């Protein structure tokens, strides 16, 4: 077992884990933050995307010990507890950007990262290509693309 | 229309938990003391199991049990079953081979579970599973359905000589032969409907728990139909009496059919939980899911369509070999028969249809319903025949369709179905306008200037949904009734819990079902909670598949609401001191007709419970009503999808340039949700047409066994869609709903292939039409050079 320590959603957390524990397992099983999902085992689907030091990362591709000391944000930490939703969360609801909801946390975390990298004015082509690493089986992406474009615009008026 | 009633694009009530990471999926459930199951699966497609030695695995740290089919049989755990009896044309029943949850004697496909390891942690269970020694004597395998019946093909089950499960027929063979003989022209096609992996993004999972004190089981399960799971696991598998088994299907992350079925893993999780006296959790890995979830489609078909001199279709003849895989999954037998051949009339008035279907065993994962289930296969056959027929007859494919459309209803087809309502020319007309068909010639010329081949393809599809009238399906072999139930519980404060036997796994029932209640009772949508997915809460229900929840589930809701209104009027009559017959209920208020005396919904609800205004002899207190609704017919959603593609002749890379869909779903409860269903269906249909393919090698190894190898459509593979509706009311149910869940997946493959073949000028194109496939097809034509 090995000790890990990091900051998750603004809180300092520690754990004593098997060295092969993936970040997603640490989040889900140790911290019981089950909003981050596992949809595959080959880093294709993106259901597990979280932010590590402000950048999107598939949490199934890293061991927990590899992000020792990092600042992690998960879907649960995107908005303040009991506060208003993050504009991207609101945009997914407003534009029906989700159906079963399983890929959604990863989609939203990726979407926020796209905006952080590409700005608030995103065209359809850019969004579709930036979603290369996220698979949705329900929506045909149509409304996810709309949601991300709308969420990106809304983020220009809100703290990221 | 109220802001939250029928027809309003209400934002979904369920979204709050999903967008904030507070969903509650099966893998999110953690039971005190739970341990973990990992399955040992056969690496061979066909092999005799000569020895299973779990001693080394048992010796590892944390391991509680290594269990095999021997223990399963000793505990008298029964086999998994297929619940739909199909008889062959000679009258003999289908050949259902025994399907134990853990293989005994031999393994029949790569992935067939042969043992399970239970350990304290998942990592320990995985390690120990590696240490289980299984000796196999490998047997030759057969994977291609077209070769399964060959002389000398490996025989998979003793009960099924020639690997043949049934040889079924529907329709009038003689009439069709006569039509073919008398035809001006016959179009003939050989079609392979490619095998698919459903790949809901949430992998399947199960947690079994046994309570020694009450001798009862609980199963948390990724299922689309918890009550059916409970019934089968109790009545057939024999795990526990039905009242001693609770099945909970919490949030489920997509199903598309693959979570209908009763699988080995959930049976084993329950059984093992009792054996080790601990809750047992199993969560499928994605790559494991490729070997463990039922696949879809996999038909090999020869089809012929006869035309007279005027382009009128006079007959259709179809012969299909359907691959059902190594064992018969829960509803597998019905998919290539009654959900397939019954739709071979399409939207067309055809006098004679005959279809033969041979279902075969192969050494592959079992095949069962996948979104559309039989109807995409039928639509592909019909819509390819029509399109190719038009090209061969040098007729406009739109005109050929118009000449053959059914125009009066009800319409009895020669293959069982009685279409109740539709306007096929209307949907086509609207789609053509929306797609700007007039401008296609210019777009094609523009594309040619850029060295691209542009093509257009139509798919005027029909499906039978609202599954299903119980007596009708019973006469066709179904082992269950397919009605639906609802219960409306009004609280003393007037808020409502609506219990339904349907199950949502993306469809948004918590919103749409609440909309129907909101409209009917005149109460805010936020005052309605929809309860589903737990056999301890909902008494019974048949679950969600076959686009049935609106047409059947909401009809049960309406029936229960009728009873609620009747009872509430009695309460109001006592409150308002009026005759029951004089009470009018509108917009949440009970009024005595012709007076200004009224009582609000909330007051009536309260009075129903405090019961101060009537005696027990006059009226029973409380306000709760249930209903079962059994449909009288299938529903027949239909529509027109138009796909435009541009092919790069140098590479074969094909881009979907435009997509137009005009669908007739009858009454729409929430257009936003319905459009979302269409988008998702089209994406799956495009996936089938252009990239998805479950490929086995000759030894029965699944070559496309992970998301690295199996191509799922990504955002950049798809366009934005132009969607509209052209509704005719369904006369068969109270709200006039037809259903929308499968339409896109049914319509899309034919539209895509019709468009690509139009672009490249050859019909010789198989699905999936990958760049390589399209490029190869182009090389056999002159068109690879023409455009470039």
Q: A96 contacts in B (CB within 8 Å)?
A: 11-12, 672-673, 675-676
Q: Which member of B19, B201, B714 has the closest CB to residue A92? A: B19
Q: Tell me: the pLDDT tens digits for B346-404?
A: 999 999 999 999 999 999 999 999 999 999 999 999 999 999 999 999 999 999 999 99
Q: Tell me: the pLDDT tens digits for B627-672?
A: 999 999 999 999 999 999 999 999 999 999 999 999 999 999 999 9
Q: Decide if A99 touches B, using CB distance below 8 A.
A: yes
Q: Residue B787 — very low, low, confident or very high, per pLDDT cuts 50/70/90?
A: very low
B408: Cβ–Cβ under 8 A, 6 or more apart, which residues? none
Q: And the tokens for A21? A: 């524990």
Q: And the tokens for B766? A: 């198989």
Q: Residue A81 — very low, low, confident or very high, per pLDDT cuts 50/70/90?
A: confident
Q: Decide if B718 touches A, using CB distance below 8 A.
A: yes
Residue B285 to residue A93, Cβ atoms within 8 A:
no
Q: Residue B788 — very low, low, confident or very high, per pLDDT cuts 50/70/90?
A: very low
Residue A160 in this model has a pLDDT that exceeds 50: no
ipTM comes to 0.98
Q: Which member of A41, A76, A143 has the closest CB to residue B679? A: A143
Question: What separation, in Å, do the N-terminal and C-terminal C-alpha atoms of chain B show?
Answer: 55
Look at residue B201 in the predicted model and tell me its pLDDT. 98
- Residue B748 CA to residue B457 CA, distance in Å, equals 10
Residue B513 in this model has a pLDDT that exceeds 70: yes
Comparing C-alpha atoms, which of A128, A120, A114, A2 is closest to residue A67? A2
The helix, strand and coil proportions of chain B, stated in percent and rounded to the nearest 5, come to 30, 25, 45
Radius of gyration, alpha carbons of chain A? 15
**Beta strands B35-41; B113-119: pairing state:** antiparallel
Look at residue B786 in the predicted model and tell me its pLDDT. 52
Q: Before B414, cis peptide (omega within 30)?
A: no
Q: Tell me: the pLDDT tens digits for B427-475?
A: 999 999 999 999 999 999 999 999 999 999 999 999 999 999 999 999 9
Residue A159 in this model has a pLDDT that exceeds 60: no
- Residue B552 CA to residue B739 CA, distance in Å, equals 9
Look at residue A140 in the predicted model and tell me its pLDDT. 98
pLDDT, chain B, mean: 97
What is the average per-residue pLDDT within B694-718?
A: 97
Look at residue A38 in the predicted model and tell me its pLDDT. 98
* Chain B interface test: which of A142, A144, A146, A154 (most B C-beta within 10 Å): A142
Q: And the tokens for B508? A: 């948004």
Taking CA–CA distances from A79, the nearest residue in chain B reads B20
Please give the helix or strand (H or E) that residue B303 lies within, else none: strand B299-307
Compute φ and ψ for B79, nearest 5 degrees. Answer: -80, 160
Q: Tell me: the pLDDT tens digits for B119-178?
A: 999 999 999 999 999 999 999 999 999 999 999 999 999 999 999 999 999 999 999 999
Q: Residue A85 — very low, low, confident or very high, per pLDDT cuts 50/70/90?
A: very high
Look at residue B783 in the predicted model and tell me its pLDDT. 66
Residues B373, B379, B380, B385, Cα dihedral to 10°: 150
Question: Which position has the higher pLDDT, B275 or A82?
Answer: B275
What is the average per-residue pLDDT within B22-26?
A: 97
Comparing C-alpha atoms, which of B493, B562, B503, B505 is closest to residue B537? B503
Q: Residue B781 — very low, low, confident or very high, per pLDDT cuts 50/70/90?
A: confident
Q: Residue A158 — very low, low, confident or very high, per pLDDT cuts 50/70/90?
A: low
Comparing C-alpha atoms, which of B645, B646, B714 is closest to residue B683? B714
Compute φ and ψ for B598, nearest 5 degrees. Answer: -150, 160
* Chain A interface test: which of B18, B62, B503 (most A C-beta within 10 Å): B18
Comparing C-alpha atoms, which of B209, B231, B342 is closest to residue B277? B209
Look at residue B488 in the predicted model and tell me its pLDDT. 98
- Residue B262 CA to residue B560 CA, distance in Å, equals 30
* B213-216: Cβ within 8 A, 24+ apart: B214/B244, B215/B240, B215/B244, B216/B240, B216/B244, B216/B245, B216/B246
Q: What is the 3-state secondary structure (H, E, C) of A38-92?
A: CCCCCCCCCCCEEEECCEEEECCCCEHHHHCCCEEECHHHCCCCCCCCCHHHHHH
- Residue A114 CA to residue B294 CA, distance in Å, equals 35
């Amino acid at each position: 077992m090995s000790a890990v320590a990091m900051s998750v959603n603004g809180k300092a957390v520690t754990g004593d884990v098997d060295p092969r524990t993936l970040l997603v397992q640490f989040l889900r099983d140790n911290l019981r933050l089950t909003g981050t999902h596992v949809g595959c085992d080959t880093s294709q689907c993106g259901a597990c995307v979280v932010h590590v030091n402000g950048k999107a990362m598939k949490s199934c591709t890293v061991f927990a010990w590899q992000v020792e000391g990092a600042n992690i944000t998960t879907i649960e930490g995107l908005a303040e507890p009991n506060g208003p939703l993050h504009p991207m969360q609101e945009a997914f609801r407003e534009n029906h950007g989700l159906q079963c909801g399983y890929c959604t946390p990863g989609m939203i975390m990726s979407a926020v990262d796209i905006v952080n990298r590409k700005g608030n004015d995103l065209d359809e082509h850019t969004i579709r290509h930036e979603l290369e690493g996220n698979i949705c089986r329900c929506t045909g992406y149509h409304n996810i693309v709309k949601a991300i474009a709308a969420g990106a615009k809304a983020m220009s008026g809100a703290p990221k | 229309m109220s802001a939250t009633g029928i027809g309003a694009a209400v934002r979904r009530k369920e979204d709050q938990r999903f967008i904030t990471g507070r969903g509650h999926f099966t893998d999110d459930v953690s039971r005190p003391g739970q341990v973990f199951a990992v399955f040992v699966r056969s690496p061979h497609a066909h092999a005799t199991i000569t020895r299973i030695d779990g001693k080394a695995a048992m010796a590892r740290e944390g391991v509680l049990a290594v269990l095999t089919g021997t223990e399963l049989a000793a505990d008298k755990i029964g086999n998994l079953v297929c619940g739909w009896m199909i008889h062959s044309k000679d009258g003999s029943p289908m050949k259902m081979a025994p399907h134990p949850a853990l293989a005994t004697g031999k393994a029949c496909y790569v992935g067939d579970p042969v043992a399970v390891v239970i350990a304290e942690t998942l990592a320990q269970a995985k390690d120990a599973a590696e240490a289980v020694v299984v000796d196999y004597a490998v047997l030759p395998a057969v994977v291609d359905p077209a070769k399964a019946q060959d002389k000398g093909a490996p025989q998979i089950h003793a009960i099924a000589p020639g690997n043949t499960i049934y040889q079924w027929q529907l329709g009038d063979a003689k009439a069709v032969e006569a039509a073919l003989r008398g035809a001006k022209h016959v179009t003939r096609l050989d079609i392979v409907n490619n095998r698919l992996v459903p790949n809901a993004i949430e992998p399947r999972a199960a947690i079994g728990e046994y309570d020694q004190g009450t001798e009862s089981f609980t199963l948390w399960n990724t299922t689309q139909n918890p009550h059916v799971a409970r019934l089968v696991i109790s009545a057939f598998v024999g795990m526990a009496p039905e009242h001693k088994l609770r099945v909970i299907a919490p949030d489920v992350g997509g199903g598309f059919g693959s979570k209908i079925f009763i699988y080995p893993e959930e049976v084993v999780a329950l059984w093992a939980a009792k054996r080790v006296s601990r809750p047992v959790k199993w969560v499928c890995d994605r790559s494991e899911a490729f070997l463990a979830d039922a696949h879809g489609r996999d038909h090999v078909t020869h089809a012929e369509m006869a035309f007279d001199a005027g382009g009128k279709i006079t007959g259709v003849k179809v012969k299909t070999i359907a691959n059902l895989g190594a064992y018969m999954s829960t509803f597998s037998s019905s998919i290539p028969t009654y959900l397939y051949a019954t739709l071979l009339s399409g939207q067309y008035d055809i006098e004679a249809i005959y279809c033969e279907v041979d279902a075969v065993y192969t050494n592959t994962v079992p095949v069962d319903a996948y979104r559309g289930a039989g109807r995409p296969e039928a639509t592909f056959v019909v819509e390819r025949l029509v399109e190719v027929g038009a090209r061969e007859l040098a007729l406009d494919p739109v005109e050929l369709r118009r000449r053959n459309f059914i125009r009066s209803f009800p319409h009895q087809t020669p293959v069982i179905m009685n279409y109740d309502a539709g306007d096929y020319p209307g949907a086509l007309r609207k789609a053509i306008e929306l797609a700007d068909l007039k401008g296609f010639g210019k777009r094609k010329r523009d594309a040619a200037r850029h060295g691209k081949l542009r093509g257009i393809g139509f798919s005027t599809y029909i499906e039978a949904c609202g599954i299903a009238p119980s007596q009708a399906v019973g006469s066709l072999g179904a082992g269950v009734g397919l009605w639906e139930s609802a219960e409306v519980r009004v609280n003393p404060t007037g808020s409502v819990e609506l219990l339904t036997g349907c199950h949502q796994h993306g469809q948004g029932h918590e919103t749409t079902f609440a909309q129907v209640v909101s409209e009917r009772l005149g109460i805010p949508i936020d005052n309605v909670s929809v309860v589903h997915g737990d056999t301890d809460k909902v008494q019974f229900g048949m679950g969600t598949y076959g686009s049935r929840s609106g047409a059947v589930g909401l009809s049960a809701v309406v029936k229960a609401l009728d009873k609620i209104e009747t009872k509430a009027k009695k309460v109001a009559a006592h409150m308002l001191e009026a005759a029951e017959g004089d009470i009018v209920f509108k917009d949440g208020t009970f009024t005595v007709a012709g007076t200004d005396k009224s009582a609000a919904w909330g007051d009536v609800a309260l009075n129903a419970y405090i019961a101060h205004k009537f005696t027990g002899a006059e009226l029973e207190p409380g306000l709760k009503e249930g209903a079962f609704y059994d449909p009288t017919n299938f529903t027949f959603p239909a529509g027109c999808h138009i796909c435009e593609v541009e092919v790069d002749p140098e590479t074969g890379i094909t881009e979907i340039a435009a997509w137009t869909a005009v669908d007739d779903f009858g009454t729409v409860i929430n257009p936003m949700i319905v459009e979302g269903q269409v988008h998702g269906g089209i994406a799956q249909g495009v996936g089938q047409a252009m990239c998805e393919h479950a490929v086995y090698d000759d030894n029965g190894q699944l070559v496309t066994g992970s998301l690295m190898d199996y191509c799922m459509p990504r955002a950049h593979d798809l366009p934005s869609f132009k969607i509209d509706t052209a509704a005719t009311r369904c006369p068969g149910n109270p709200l006039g709903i037809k259903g929308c869940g499968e339409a896109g997946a049914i319509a899309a493959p034919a539209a895509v292939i019709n468009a690509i073949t139009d672009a490249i000028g050859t019909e010789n194109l198989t699905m999936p039409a990958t760049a390589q496939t399209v490029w190869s097809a182009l090389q056999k034509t002159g068109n690879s050079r023409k455009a470039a």
